Amino acid sequence: MLTRTFLLLLPLFFTASLLSGQENPANAAPSREVRYKSPLDADIAKETYEVEHFAKNLGLLKSAFEKQDISGIVANERAILEAMRMETQQLEDKVAGDKIQAERRAKASAGEPLPGGAAQRPKRDPFAEAETTSEQRLETMRYTMLAFERHAFDPGKPEDAARDFAKLDAFLKVMQEELADLKK
């Protein structure tokens, strides 16, 4: 009899405990709000990382130069040059895209039919004359990058290095300005 009563009450207690657990919000699983990044947020995060990474490598290069650590100089200069190439290419793509969009807007506002195809190229060199601040920054970045393509820091020439570090600081400043524009 006791076993029979116990077997009858067991499902009742089990059901009651489940119901009381659902009513208590403290026992409820926390809701997960998933926030996806917008393309702009992703671009800002990527650019922020690139600027911070460049600044870090530039600091390491300056430190290695002060210590006259040749392997540190070579490694950090190579990392900086690669970052300069990537950043210049990204800005070239951005400026070319902006030029294409501007030409399409001008044609659309003039009532001209827009040509089909997503991969339209402008009829002229988009970098022939720098009109926007991004184009001006791109020219600065290009000249700086080209100056460092076959460059090597010589610990025996601190005057030359100071001038070269100033160029790299200016490149970093251009990257920071472009990031600030992206955040607007």
Q: What is the pLDDT of residues 105-163, one digit of tens each?
A: 777 666 655 555 444 444 554 445 556 788 888 888 888 888 888 888 888 888 989 99
Report the CATH number that the domain containing residue 144 is assigned in CATH: 1.20.120
How far is 132 from 179, CA to CA, in rounded Å?
A: 15
The CA angle 77-167-148, to the nearest 5 degrees, is 45
Residue 13 counted as domain residue: no
| DSSP helix/strand/coil, 180 | helix
Residue 9, domain member (yes or no): no
Give yes or no for residue 71 having a pLDDT over 70.
yes
In this structure, how many other beta carbons lie within 10 angstroms of the beta carbon of residue 84? 23
The reply to whether 154 falls in a domain is: yes
* Predicted confidence (pLDDT) per residue in 146-157, tens digit: 888 888 888 888
In a domain? residue 116: no
- pLDDT for residue 28: 53
User: What's the domain range around 48?
Assistant: 37-110+126-183
**What pLDDT was estimated at residue 167?**
93
**If you average pLDDT over residues 78-103, what whole number do you get?**
89
Q: Examine residue 7 and state whether it is found in any structural domain, yes or no.
A: no
Q: Indicate the pLDDT class of residue 104, thresholds 50, 70 and 90.
A: confident
For residues 96 and 139, what is the distance between their CA atoms, to the nearest angstrom?
13
pLDDT of res. 87: 93
pLDDT at residue 173 tops 90: yes
Is residue 58 a part of any domain in this protein? Answer: yes
Q: Structurally, how many domains does the chain consist of?
A: 1
Share of the chain above pLDDT 70, in %: 71
How big is the chain, counted in residues? 184
**168's tokens:** 């790299």
